[in-house]
Amino acid sequence: MKLLVRNLSRSTTEQELRILFSAHGSVTECSLVLDQETGKSKGFAFVVMPDEKEAKLALSALHETRVAKNRIRVKVAQ
């Protein structure tokens, strides 16, 4: 299941996200969306978790939690 993670701090890294979501299950892909010109984070990312149960657990556990002073929003990606 592919999850969309929004409202990330510009300083949050893919590695930090992978660690955060891995606490709730297996993560096969984690991609931070970067600005093509500056190479800096746009403040959102996609996380892929193959097990739907684990993905839903991560979604409910992490939605509206604080990461690097920002309250992140997690939802199923369209």
Domain ranges of the chain: 2-76
pTM of the predicted model, to two decimals? Answer: 0.93
φ, ψ for residue 47, nearest 5 deg: -125, 130
Q: What class is the 2-76 domain?
A: alpha beta
- Beta-strand ranges (E) seen in the chain are 2-6, 29-34, 41-48, 66-67, 70-71, 73-76
| Dihedral (Cα; 29, 32, 35, 36), 10-degree rounding | -20
DSSP symbol at 68: T
Write the Ramachandran bin of 68: left for phi over 0, alpha for psi from -120 to 50, otherwise beta.
left
Per-residue pLDDT of the chain (78 residues; tens, 9 = 90+): 999 999 999 999 999 999 999 999 999 999 999 999 999 999 999 999 999 999 999 999 999 999 999 999 999 998
